[in-house]
Structure formats: C-alpha cells, structure tokens
Amino acid sequence: MRTTYGNLKISIFTLLLCLSSAYSQHTQTIANVKIHTYKEIETRYRSAGTDTLKSAIYAAAYLQKAREQHNAEKMAKGYEYLYECNYKSDLGLVYIDSLIAISKNLTTEIYPALGYILKAEHYSYKRDFIAALDNHVIAYNYAKKTNNKDFIYEIKFNIGLLKKRLGYYDESFKILKECKRYFKENNYNTAYLTSLFALSDYYVRKEKLDSASYTNNLGYKASSLPENSKMRNYFVLEEGVVQYHKKKYRASIDSISKVLPMIIANNDRANEAMIYYYLGRDYIGLGQKEKAIPYFIKVDSIFSIVEELHPDTRKGYEILIDYYDSKKDIKKQLYYIERLLRLDSVLNTSYRHLSKKIIVEYDTPLLLSQKEKIITDLNKKDKLSLFKIGGLLFSVIVLSGFVFFYYKRQKQYRINFEKLLEVKEDHKDETVKIEKAPNPTISLGLQQNVIDTILAKLHQFENDQLFLKNDCTVAKVAKDFETNSTYLSKVINSYKGQNFSAYLNELRIDYTIDKIKNDPKFRRYSVNAIAEEVGYNNTESFSKAFFKKAGIYPSYFINNLKSDSV
C-alpha cells in the first residue's frame, strides 16, 4: 500500500523512525548522496533504520534532487521521508503541509490523499483526535475520487479504531471486520494483525471472551515471522486481559508480566499504563490490595508524562481514592481526587467532541451516499414504486437539511470565534469608560456630587475586578459604595447604557475572554471551574451569559483556541 504497499502505516503500534532534522548541517554529504538515483537513495534511506543522522541526510538529499529536477511527485515523497524523520515534533507538521501544497495539483492514485493521511496520523499521535478525523475525511474523499482501495480501507480502519475508542463497538466491529478481510486478501500482514488485535479488544468489551481468545490465538500464530514479532507481544498482552476477565488472575499476571519489558522498550506508554492497570486489578482480584496499589500509582505517573490515558484506567483512581480514605491519608486522597478530575477533563474533551464529528462528518455523508446508491439500483430494477422512491428521497432531503443546518451553525460559530480573536486588548476598556451624561441632575434627579462619587467607585470596582465575587448583587455593591440600590441602578442605566445585571455580565465575560486568550493555565480549567472563578454560581448561567455576549459557548471557544494553537 502507498508507495511500498507491503508495509501499511496504519497500525496503532507501528514504529516510525525517531529522527532529528540534523541533515541541514551536512550539506556537503547531501550533495554527495544526491548524485545517486532516486531508487538508490530510497534504498539507503530504508536501510539506515534507526541511524537518525543517516536517515535524515538521505531524506534531505532525495528532496534536494527532486527540487533541482522540478519533479513534484518526487518532492512530495522527499517531504514524506522528512516527516518520518520528525513525526514527533511540530517540524513534522511543517513537512506534511509542504507535501500537501506540492501535491495539490498532482493527479495520481496516491497524492494528495497521502498528505492528509499523514496529517491525521500526526494529530492522532498528538492526541488531537478532532483534527485527526478532519484530515481522515479529506483523505477519504480524495481516495474515493481516484478509487484507491488501499487508502480507502486504511482510512476506514482508522475511523473504525476511533469508533471503538468512543465506545461505538458494534459500528466499529463492522468496519474492522471488513478491513480485516481486505488486508488478508491483499497480504498486508501488519494491517491484518492490527485488525485482529482490534477485533479481539471488541470481543473483550462485548464479553465474548472465547471469541477474544480464539482471535488472539489467530494473531499469535500469524505473527510468527520475525518482522511481526513485536505484534506477537500485543496478542500475549491482550490474552492477559482476557484471562483477567475470566477471573484467571494468575494466568493474567503471567501473560502481562512477560511482555512488559518489550512494551517499555518500545516506549509504548499507553499500553504500559494498561499493563500496570490490569496487574493492579489482578492483585485486587486475588485479594492482595497492598500489592495492587503501587501499580495504580504507576498508571498515574504515566498520566503525568503523557496527559492521556484510556478510559478503562479510570477505575484505578477510584481504587486509590478509596484506599487512602481507608488509611485516613487525606492528602493523598485529595491528590488522587484532583488527578481523577484532571483525567475526566481530558477524557471529556477528547471523546465528546470527536463523537459529534464522527456522526456528522463521517456517518451522515456515508449514509447519504448509500441511500443514493440504493435509489439508483432500485430504479434500474424497477422494484420500487414511485411512492417508496419519493419516501427515500424525502429522507435524503431531511438528512441534507440537517447537515446544512449543522454546517451553517458551525460556520457562524467559527465567524464569532474569529471575531473574538480579532478584538484588541484595549477593547475591554470601552465598557468601563466613564462619560458625562447631558444634564445628569435633571435626568436622574441626583446631585452631581452623588453621581461623580458613584462613577468614581464604579471605576475602582472595575479596576480592582471586584465584579468577580460571586456575591456581587446590586444591593451588596450599593452597600459597599455607601449609597442605595436605586441611586446605583440609575447611574449604571444612564452612564453604562444597561441595567446592573447586564453590566455585571459584560465585565465578567470580557474578563473571561481575555483570560482564556492569554492564560494557557486558565484555558485548561473546566467550564464549571471557570464559571466559579469569574463569579457565577452555576455553569448554565455562565454559558448563557457568554453566548449572549460572544455568540458562541465557552467550551467551543476554549476547544477551538486549543486546536488553533497546535
């Protein structure tokens, strides 16, 4: 598949080359290498393996040769190699964008779809699953145009994995089973083994444990070749998980412990965390809680490094909280409560929004395509009456209307979001500017010195950010100003052009927007925590006030700000 079809890059455990961009320091070496043919340079690049310096030099030489010959397709491949050398860093994304830009006008079976597949892989590695899905969808559309079956199934497989990750197991199962059949028929061994692993995990989650063991056995036997030896370890790991669910805790510990050194050597943090989690659960099952606790602590140590865990491991935090509660160790109990809240925040962000995107951007267009095909086939065979066809068309129209409405709303949200980003820093001072109203004494029935005093105290109120207090009512503020509610309300209505509640909301929301834009730490708070921080007693009131002011909800603003900053 792709340019060397024997090695599919969709395995969730496939190791890309971990390289640096040191090639730029070796221009003389590059000049020497580029005199070779493309095939020779590619062979040397592949044979360099984990020699990071050599691999990077060959990749740069390949690209330089293509540039000099104005060969766009070879330039695209050169950028692909450079991405592989830098896939962990932001520089890798730069190379992908260059690949996409140079291949946009190519009309080949591979380009430009490959660029978007690589971009999706990059975002998946960064745990930005929303951006990953976006690029999968773009790549899928390009692959369909060229009828590139390999890419189509590669993308389907990755979307199947995302569905499984979200808990849509039955939908995921259908996709993964279809992909497994395609990979096996075309001898894509790595992809076939990965699909078996994913299917085994499906059977575990559906409590079909015998089917899971059967699938693990298939995968174990099929991974007997040396080049597939790493995958064999994962089938041993998965069988250890199966044994846990069968309550065969000793067998589970035996299987999982065997593969732990290899998982650590692969720097596979996600599955290392899963191993510690299941070792802990095994010892809990054996009634040895004291042996279990250190493993759950190790899970948290990994979370501190990677800021991402599988939802399954959440139970480990509940066990730690209960354990330290029983030990009357309040500090540690509180620590793990805070860690669990942090994990929930991460999981909620990653899974909820990705779920919505899968439904709207993948399933709905696919459903519409399938319905259109059904209508065409039925027309050819003349087996449906016009009434039935009309019903199907009506369904398509309704679905199309739903999609149109969704995208229109999302577009408006995006416009409102960008407007917030364009607001200058000094704009927030506009709402607190004190101006002189004409004939204030006549219009308000107040002495000028009373008005001036209230305006001065309002100015101080804004500068000291006293509006962030959650007990900020017109009566409370009037008391603090040593005046009464009626006087205060009249001055705010006349000089601020709004009632006290609207005035207070505007101050708070302007502060919130500025704080989210400029404080990365504040941006990581949950919406509930932000609401409390800026003076609201409940999230609903805060979200409504934010939407009224900004035209978008705070969660949308935060998540898009995070995505744009990647």
Residues 6+ apart with CB under 8 A from 427: none
Question: Residue 19 has what DSSP assignment?
Answer: -
CA angle 31, 84, 192 (to 5 degrees): 135
Distance CA 397, CA 395 (A): 5
| pLDDT interval class at 539 (50, 70, 90) | confident
> How large a percentage of the chain has pLDDT more than 70?
76
Query: Residue 380: pLDDT above 70?
Result: no
Mean pLDDT over residues 274-281, rounded?
Answer: 95
Largest CA distance in the chain: 93
- At residue 49, what are phi and psi to the nearest 5 degrees? 60, -120
pLDDT digits (tens, 9 = 90+) for 334-367: 888 888 888 877 777 666 544 455 555 545 555 4
The more confident residue out of 11 and 245 is: 245
Distance CA 530, CA 566 (A): 22
| pLDDT interval class at 65 (50, 70, 90) | confident
Residue 427: the pLDDT is 45
Distance CA 178, CA 163 (A): 14
Of 262, 202, 277, 216, residue with least CA distance to 15:
262
The more confident residue out of 77 and 398 is: 77
Distance CA 155, CA 134 (A): 11
- Tell me if 152 sits within 8 A of 122, measured CB to CB: no
CA distances from 72 to 75, 82, 183, 408 (A): 5, 15, 30, 36
C-alpha count within 13 angstroms, C-beta hemisphere, residue 444: 24
Least confident among 47-51, 165-169, 433-437, 500-504: 433-437
What is the C-alpha R_g of the chain? 30
Residue 9: the pLDDT is 39
Residue 418: the pLDDT is 67
Least confident among 192-196, 318-322, 400-404: 400-404
Residue 441: the pLDDT is 43
Least confident among 172-181, 286-295, 514-523: 514-523
- Tell me if 354 sits within 8 A of 348, measured CB to CB: no
pLDDT digits (tens, 9 = 90+) for 131-149: 888 898 899 888 888 888 9
- Tell me if 378 sits within 8 A of 391, measured CB to CB: no
Mean pLDDT over residues 245-258, rounded?
Answer: 94
pTM: 0.53
Question: Residue 464 has what DSSP assignment?
Answer: T
CA distances from 361 to 201, 319, 350, 370 (A): 25, 38, 16, 15
pLDDT digits (tens, 9 = 90+) for 189-237: 889 999 999 999 899 988 999 999 999 998 998 888 777 778 888 899 9
DSSP per position, 260-320: HHHHHHTT-HHHHHHHHHHHHHHHHHTT-HHHHHHHHHHHHHHHHHHS---GGGHHHHHHH
Of 318, 300, 314, residue with least CA distance to 350:
314
| pLDDT interval class at 370 (50, 70, 90) | very low
> How large a percentage of the chain has pLDDT more than 90?
21
Distance CA 194, CA 196 (A): 5
Residue 396: the pLDDT is 56
pLDDT digits (tens, 9 = 90+) for 149-173: 988 999 999 988 877 776 778 888 9
